[in-house]
Amino acid sequence: MRCATSELMRQTKRTLSLLILTTASMLTPIPAHAWHPGHDEHASKHGGKVISIGDAHQHVEIVTKPGHQYDVYFSDSAQQELPAAKFSKVALLFTKPGAAQQTIQLHLSDDGEYWTGAGGPSETSAQTSVKITCAYQGAAISKDVLLFAPPASDQHAHSHGKP
């Protein structure tokens, strides 16, 4: 009888350990980029938001600066910078609930290293959606970007299917 009791205690300890680990992982905050499905997040070289775009696996980094200034850098699949002049018609489209869509047509920087422009909504929030559009070797590319992260208190607002 003692042997059966010892085995039951070991199983109970294992079950409790697994339950504790599972609960702890569920309580860990989810970063804002986890809200966007797919393999989109990459390391930033200029302090901006980096995502994959296009069929050739290029990357775009959107840098948000004070005064509603935006800089856009392009790189290849290995994140080696691509000449900005290889891209054209670069624009950012902002959509905010209850407001008209605003578009910023970007222009090539003076040194030709990136695209830049200013404008967009005067106030942004997690509800402000952003789409980058451009052309690369004659092909139109567009991608939705989670540029403005939700406030920290909203980052884990969904229930994971639990009531």
Same structural domain, 59 and 76:
yes
User: Residues 134, 141: contact at Cβ < 8 Å?
Assistant: yes
Same structural domain, 113 and 65:
yes
Same structural domain, 57 and 17:
no
In a domain, 163, yes or no: no
Same structural domain, 140 and 97:
yes
Q: Please report, for the domain that includes residue 49, its CATH number.
A: 2.60.40.2480
pTM score over 0.95: no
How far apart, in whole angstroms, are the C-alpha atoms of residue 74 and residue 82? 5
Domain of residue 9: give its range.
Answer: 1-30
User: In angstroms, what CA-CA distances link 40 with 29, 87, 124, 159?
Assistant: 19, 20, 22, 23
Q: How many domains does the chain have?
A: 2
In a domain, 155, yes or no: no
In a domain, 159, yes or no: no
92 Cβ contact partners less than 8 Å away, ≥ 6 residues apart? 62, 70, 72, 103, 104, 106, 117, 120, 130, 131, 132, 133
In a domain, 160, yes or no: no
For position 20, what pLDDT does the model report? Answer: 59
Same structural domain, 25 and 36:
no
How far apart, in whole angstroms, are the C-alpha atoms of residue 150 and residue 35? 10
How far apart, in whole angstroms, are the C-alpha atoms of residue 106 and residue 72? 9
How far apart, in whole angstroms, are the C-alpha atoms of residue 143 and residue 60? 10
Same structural domain, 26 and 45:
no
How far apart, in whole angstroms, are the C-alpha atoms of residue 49 and residue 42? 8
pLDDT tens over the chain, length 163 residues: 556 677 777 777 776 655 554 444 444 443 333 333 334 455 677 778 888 887 767 889 999 999 889 999 999 888 889 999 999 999 999 998 888 899 999 999 999 999 999 998 888 888 888 999 999 888 899 998 888 876 554 443 433 444 4
**Which segments within 76-128 are labelled E, that is strand?**
87-95, 102-105, 107-108, 115-118
Same structural domain, 13 and 82:
no
In a domain, 21, yes or no: yes
